Amino acid sequence: MKSNQKSHSLRFTAKEKRILLIVLAAIVFYFVLDKLPAVRAACSAVLRILRPLLIGCAFAFLMNPMMGFMERHILSFAEKSRGRQPGKKAQRAVRVICVVLSAVILVGLVAAFFSFVAPQFYEAVRNLMAHLDEKIIGVIDWADELTGYQFTDAMQEAKSSGQIEAGISNAVQWITNYLNVDINDSQNLIFTATSVGTDVIMIFVNFLIGLFLAIYMLFFKESYTGHVKRLLYAELETGKANVVLEIARKANEIFYGFIIGKILDSAIIGVICYFSMLIMQMPYPILCSFVIGVTNIIPVFGPYIGATPTVILIFVTDPPKGIIFLIYILILQQIDGNLIGPKILGDSTGITSFWVIIAVTVGGSMFGFIGMLIGVPSLALILYIVDRLTQGRVKKKNLPSSAEEYINVDHIDSESGGIVYLEEKGQEEKEKTAGQEKTKEKE
């Protein structure tokens, strides 16, 4: 009897559990804020260890649509030609072929970048640094001509007083300070070069390990999915496990719809920009188109991030073309934002522009470029989970589940549970006021 009473006394009510969770969350939040540098260092160490696995997951994520597309069409063709569904051995062979082809395409895209974009980037930077003073003088001469030579004296003074060389020297000094590199210290340069070389080797090694991990993930993805589902149903109640799987399917839908769609949209914009630059005979077409395409992946701020350096690069090379390119990019981004993007992405996230800006800002400040990319689908998933939890709770209270139905709600009667709308309350107040006036008239 005593043992039953003791075990009953150790049980927590639902309200006590919520309070306990809130207190624990507050303690954890305070600890994270108090030890933020140590937490960041620990997270960085963990991410550095898990980097090959994370790269493999990213590769598998990008390769899966290509593999699925090829696999469906090959199996469909085999079924139509043979009149029956291929056996398990044939399906495995098709899976191997599709996974390998997807990996080859991914590696080919990376190789194309290093073959075409990287050399142009190096050449553009080298040419710009070698002739920067000449290009700035050319911009000053163009501005002097544009203003009808009304400020010739000021322009000539700017060219001859050494301000250009001083500005370039200050810019180089700022860059070296920012990178913590002293170009006059040979030991520092050797150490920096060794560190960069080591990082490049580690990136290459992690790339290879991640590629092999992605191949194994895709080849055995059904088996891994089965193990995860079995674990969920073994450890959780059936209803909760169903909810977890529903959220996982929604996460897959949101992330694939947004990220893959955004990559496809950005690739189209990059290709259009490249051929347009060739037609307009713009300098650095591959480099500028690549920058415009990559930065276009970032929602809201991406077009401006990509336009700034490319416009400056073209402007210092040829000022009139720089202005034309700026106008062209503004037009291109309007076409993308109002025509191409909506056609490809649709409503893949289901969140408003307000939440998109918050997701990009917070994600970028915490995780940089990757944070800007995954911030929007991550926030969309969080809002979906909150909405599902809210709907479940209001249904238990026999209240409307749609948020639109609460817009005109004034309050809910605590005793009857009935909803009182703003119009009803206003009518009640009018009737009450009218009754009070009649009472005063009788008195």
Torsion angle (degrees, nearest 10) of CA 49, 52, 58, 61: -120
The answer to whether residue 117 is domain-embedded is no
Neighbours of 91 (CB within 10 A): 15
Q: Give the tokens for residue 234.
A: 């073994």
**Of 344, 343, 331, 339, which is closest to residue 262 (Cα–Cα)?**
344
Who's near 296: CB < 8 A, 6+ residues apart? 265, 266, 269, 270, 302, 303, 306, 336
- CA 163, 165, 170, 174 dihedral sign is positive
Report the percent of the chain where pLDDT is more than 90: 6
Q: How confident is the model at residue 230 (pLDDT cuts 50, 70, 90)?
A: very high
Judge whether residue 170 has pLDDT over 70: no
CA–CA separation, 305 and 49 (whole Å): 31
The answer to whether residue 394 is domain-embedded is no
Q: How confident is the model at residue 8 (pLDDT cuts 50, 70, 90)?
A: very low
**Of 279, 334, 280, 342, which is closest to residue 307 (Cα–Cα)?**
334
Q: Please state the rounded mean pLDDT for residues 234-260.
A: 87
The answer to whether residue 66 is domain-embedded is no
Choose one of 323, 348, 373: the last residue of a domain: 348
CA–CA separation, 391 and 95 (whole Å): 41
Q: pLDDT digits over 129-168, tens only? A: 766 666 777 776 676 666 766 666 666 666 665 665 666 5
The answer to whether residue 371 is domain-embedded is no
Judge whether residue 7 has pLDDT over 50: no
Q: How confident is the model at residue 1 (pLDDT cuts 50, 70, 90)?
A: very low
CA–CA separation, 202 and 218 (whole Å): 24
Report the percent of the chain where pLDDT is more than 70: 74
Q: How many domains does the chain have?
A: 2
Choose one of 297, 332, 348: the last residue of a domain: 348
The answer to whether residue 288 is domain-embedded is yes
Name beta bridge partners: 421.
Answer: 409
Q: pLDDT digits over 179-211, tens only? A: 555 555 555 556 666 666 777 788 888 889 989
Q: What is the pLDDT of residue 2?
A: 46
Q: pLDDT digits over 327-386, tens only? A: 999 898 888 877 877 777 766 667 777 788 888 888 777 777 778 888 888 888 888 888
Higher pLDDT, 275 or 119: 275
H-type alpha helices, 236-279? 238-255, 261-279
Who's near 179: CB < 8 A, 6+ residues apart? 192
Choose one of 348, 375, 407: the last residue of a domain: 348
**Domain hosting residue 26, numbered range:** 13-49
**Is this structure's pTM higher than 0.75?**
no
The answer to whether residue 306 is domain-embedded is yes
The answer to whether residue 330 is domain-embedded is yes
The answer to whether residue 255 is domain-embedded is yes
Judge whether residue 53 has pLDDT over 80: yes
Q: What is the pLDDT of residue 168?
A: 58
CA–CA separation, 116 and 122 (whole Å): 11
